[in-house]
Structure 1
Amino acid sequence: MLALPENDIDAALFCQLTRQAAGLYRTAPTQALLLLTRALALWRGPALLDTGQGLISRMAYTRLTETRLAAYEYYFDAALLLDLHREIITELHPLHDRYPLRERFCEQLISALYRSGRQAEALDVYHRTRRRLADSLGLEPGDALREQFEKVLRREPLTV
């Protein structure tokens, strides 16, 4: 077994930076964005790629993948708080396409599009997500996503 300081392990450093940013993204979005940019730069492909298919590896993979997705959610929330909505659209689209049932990415993409003056595209994203949820899971969008959709329809400002 190899014993290394925790900060020498990319996965541990990634989780530490993400935890720090999670506590800051609403109150200090610029600082959170810097931490998350650093954390996400550590990511170089699938987690634990060559560690096998054992239970411990699968659990660690799932935990790291979920932490990565949460890091992106914090990143996009911080960017939206800083009015960087136009800048994040190109990053959000592929994540929303890859994880179409993750409603938070949908909310963030709708917000970025709508705040960029692209209301029709924002509404289209909602309708496509709604259909996917219904077809895949037999569910309707959650309250937060539905409320956001209604605000876009009424042309109200969106908050993060």
Structure 2
Amino acid sequence: MLKFQLLGAIGASSERGELQVSGTLQSSLLAALLVAEGSPVSRDALIDEMWGSEPPDAVENAVQAHVSRLRRKLAALEDDPDRSRLITQHVGYRLVLDEGSLDVTVFMEEYERIKSIGSSPDGTAKEIRHVLKMWRGPIYGGTAVGQSCQAAAARFEETRLALLELLFDCDLENFEHRRIIPELQTLLVEHPYNERFRQQLMVALYRCGRQTDALNVYRELHGKLSEELGLSPSPVMRDYERAVLEQDPCLHVKSTVQRAAASHRGERHLMPAGR
């Protein structure tokens, strides 16, 4: 079966070899067809993805030439090279995909499955780490792509972050707080405003006896939001700061702090981790 990749360098492979994608235009073309996940893509949409607002003269001929080149390369990887999966339609072009042949589709489906199975934290954590191995680098391998592919990339990245949040909730439930501290610190360099990662890091640090470091995680966010955006941390973040300041014993057993305002008695409660 011919398999396609977007979670890393754009490409395709089969038992016959690997697709050699040459140049940004060919990469953008293949990415746009793959992001459509088997649906037709109009010629105008492909032009926007490949050239943006500066298409060349005779751009429709250029699109046809790039499609023909890609079609020949894909045919070389097929068992039946005379039967092309890159189909010309009146609205544009469609790349026929076999079930399970596109890595990002499998990635998104696995996320939905993991959310719904409700297995133990240990089992869920193992499954998430297995799925995350599919993420082999920057989406599209860092290739410059058009707006449609950029929007899809944002959706894929959002799913990856949601998986990581769920993973760290499971790890905290399994008392793996020491292991996740370096991972969370690295992620916060890339995503400094992600409050869930900060909350999880605060809990992990607190459990290691590092109360001051846990508070500094909150204070760093407060400083960034105030100086760069003129904002303040959310009420939920303030609840985490308060829990650490008060040395709430429940921080040692659960990972998610419920807002104290929900209790008429002013008592703090904790909810089980998970989504």
| Structure 1 residues 23 and 141: alpha-carbon distance in aligned structure 2, compared to 1, 3 A threshold | farther
Q: CA RMSD in A?
A: 1.7
> What is the rounded CA distance, in whole Å, between the counterparts of 2:134 and 2:224 in structure 1?
32
1:35-114 matches, cutoff 5 A: 35-49=127-141, 52-114=144-206
CA contact (8 A) 1:86 1:112 kept: yes
Equivalent AA in structure 1 for residue 107 of structure 2: F
State the AA in 2 paired with 1:71: L
- Secondary structure (helix, strand or coil) at the match of 2:193 reads coil
Q: Which has the higher helix share?
A: 1
Structure 2 length-normalised TM: 0.54
Helix, strand or coil at the partner of 2:135: coil
Matched, 1:153 2:248: no
Identity among equivalent pairs (%): 36
CA, structure 1 residues 52+85, in 2 after alignment: closer, same or farther (shift >3 Å)? same
Larger Rg: 2
Question: Which residue of structure 2 lines up, in the alignment, with residue 140 of structure 1?
Answer: 232
Give the corresponding residue for 1:8.
101
Structure with more of its chain in strand, by fraction: 2
Whether the 8 Å CA contact 1:30–1:78 is kept in 2: the answer is yes
Shift of the 42–123 alpha-carbon distance from structure 1 to 2, 3 Å rule, reads: same
How far apart in 2 are the matches of 1:152 and 1:31? 29
Counterpart of 2:241 in structure 1: which amino acid?
F
Uncovered stretches (5+) of structure 1, i.e. residues with no partner: none
> 1:46-75, CA deviations, whole angstroms, 9 ceiling, x for partnerless residues?
112366422211111111111111111111
Q: Can you give the 5+ residue segments of structure 2 that lack an aligned partner in the other structure?
A: 1-85, 87-94, 256-275
* Counterpart in the other structure of 1:33: 125
Q: Is the 8 A contact 1:21 1:32 kept in 2?
A: yes
CA deviation string 1:135-156 (max 9, x = no partner): 2221111111110110100000
Contact 1:24 1:31 in 2 (8 A): no
Structure 2 residue matching 1:61: 3-state secondary structure: helix
- What is the number of equivalent residue pairs in this alignment? 159
Task: Give the direction of change, closer, same or farther, for the CA distance of 1:29–1:5 in structure 2 (3 Å limit).
Answer: farther
Q: Alignment partner for residue 130 of structure 1, among 222, 235, 238?
A: 222
Residue 119 of structure 1 and its aligned partner are, at CA, apart by: 0.8
Query: 2: CA distance between counterparts of 1:92 and 1:70?
Result: 13
